[in-house]
Amino acid sequence: MYDAAIIGSGPAGLSAALCLKLHEKNFIWFGSMAFSDKVEKSEKIANYPGVGMISGEELNKKMRAHAEEMEIETVDKMVTTVGAMGDYFSLLAENEMYEAKTVLLSTGVVQAKGFVNEENFVGRGVSYCATCDGFLYKGKTIAVFCGSKRYEHEVAYLAELAEKVYLSVGYKDCDIDLPNVERIGVIKEVAGGLKIKSISLFDGTEIPVDGLFCLRNALAPTTLVPGIEIDGAHIVVNRKQETNLPGLYAAGDCTGRPYQIAKAVGEGNVAAHEIIEFLSRKN
Ligand SMILES: Cc1cc2nc3c(=O)[nH]c(=O)nc-3n(C[C@H](O)[C@H](O)[C@H](O)COP(=O)(O)OP(=O)(O)OC[C@H]3O[C@@H](n4cnc5c(N)ncnc54)[C@H](O)[C@@H]3O)c2cc1C
């Protein structure tokens, strides 16, 4: 069992990982090898102390290099469920289970809202993980929302299993061209009874499906961690970065505005110190 699991490889996650590493904690860090998409996209950053005027691409590169220098690696997997088990947390990431005494959510803020009724069909036809649930849809008809080029290989995998895939894409330059994959417009709503039965698009088209895969860069906090307290799009924390669930912390954009690198780094540092304190109290 890990002392801590960090979910999210942006500035908040890196800041916490550096601190836990210095304190020789046994932790696992989930996130993209590309680090933060958001930092990467910033044209010019002028207000992060010590680095002068810098492009987001350059700062992201520096952050990656800092992690490498400290011999910290990310596990390039999307965590889709965090379960509070009382004394520890269980995490599901692409079909593998992990256990940790504490968890830090540094997942960034989820801008895109889920589809109408999406949350009501989680585990009843709506899935966030192709590797975990793809086999359930062998020979069936599914819809897939692909929110990033990063997940195109997962769409290809699902297309190998399913008979028919209706694909809605949330970015430019999608390269998927497979005989059983049909591109559709923007998904609006999920419908069904005990299980999902169909999706409907903004243009009014209704498509019967057996399942819907939502492949996004981040999940809504309440989808990721059942029982977590939120305020709108943000996770509610106190000044120790504690959430309402003991042992679960949050830092960075996911806790609220201002969406700034300096704030994310500061909160990641506070959370890591609190995690260390929590672990020493427990032991
Ligand atoms: C265009 C633009 C310009 C900006 N300019 C500035 C600026 O000039 N100055 C400034 O201070 N800030 C700026 N920002 C804001 C800054 O980028 C953010 O405040 C900062 O990146 C937040 O860091 P974070 O660690 O909270 O989250 P993020 O940087 O969003 O990182 C979160 C990471 O977690 C990963 N993740 C999420 N969920 C999961 C999961 N379930 N499993 C595994 N991984 C997961 C994501 O893929 C992502 O890599 C800008 C943002 C944008 C978009």
Q: Indicate the domain borders of the chain.
A: 2-110+219-282, 118-215
Distance 177 CA to ligand 1 centre (A): 31
Q: How do residues 152-187 score in pLDDT, each as one tens digit?
A: 999 999 999 999 999 999 888 898 999 999 999 999
For residue 178 the two structure tokens come to 């497979």
State the pLDDT at residue 139: 97
Cα-atom radius of gyration of the chain, to the nearest Å?
19
Distance 31 CA to ligand 1 centre (A): 12
Distance 261 CA to ligand 1 centre (A): 8
Mutate to test the pocket of ligand 1, among 53, 131, 261, 265 (most ligand atoms within 8 A of CB): 261
CATH 3.50.50.60 fits 118-215, yes or no: yes
Instruction: Give the predicted TM-score (pTM) of the model.
Output: 0.88
Pairwise pLDDT comparison (223 vs 253), residue with the higher score? 253
State the pLDDT at residue 250: 98
Thinking of the domain 2-110+219-282, which architecture would CATH place it in? Answer: 3-Layer(bba) Sandwich (3.50)
Q: What is the mean pLDDT of residues 251-273?
A: 97
What are the angstrom distances between the C-alpha of 247 and each of 36, 100, 105? 25, 10, 11
Lowest-confidence pick of 24-28, 109-113, 136-140, 241-245: 109-113
Tell me the H-state helices in 9-143: 11-22, 37-41, 56-69, 130-133
By the 10 Å C-beta count (0-12 exposed, 13-18 middle, 19+ buried), 50 is classed as: exposed
> Distance between CA 71 and CA 65 in Å, rounded?
10
**Which of 279, 261, 270 has the alpha carbon at shortest distance from 50?**
261
Contact 108, 114 (CB under 8 A): no
- Find out whether the beta carbon of 255 lies less than 6 Å from any atom of ligand 1: no
> Distance between CA 5 and CA 248 in Å, rounded?
10
Q: How do residues 14-42 score in pLDDT, each as one tens digit?
A: 999 999 999 999 999 999 878 898 899 88
Q: Which ligand 1 atom is nearest residue 44's CA?
A: 8
Other beta carbons within 10 angstroms of residue 209's beta carbon come to 24
For residue 255, give the DSSP letter.
Answer: G
Q: Which ligand 1 atom is nearest residue 13's CA?
A: 25
Chain-centroid distance of CA 250 in Å reads 13
Q: How do residues 231-249 score in pLDDT, each as one tens digit?
A: 988 999 999 999 999 999 9
- Find out whether the beta carbon of 74 lies less than 6 Å from any atom of ligand 1: no
Side chain identity at 207, as an amino acid letter? Answer: I
> Distance between CA 86 and CA 147 in Å, rounded?
34
Q: Which residues make Cβ contacts (< 8 Å) with residue 205, sequence separation at least 6?
A: 184, 185
For residue 53 the two structure tokens come to 């005027």
Fold match between domain 2-110+219-282 and domain 118-215: yes
Mutate to test the pocket of ligand 1, among 18, 39, 57, 110 (most ligand atoms within 8 A of CB): 39
- Find out whether the beta carbon of 95 lies less than 6 Å from any atom of ligand 1: no
State the pLDDT at residue 112: 66
CA angle 217, 221, 226 (to 5 degrees): 130
Distance 175 CA to ligand 1 centre (A): 25
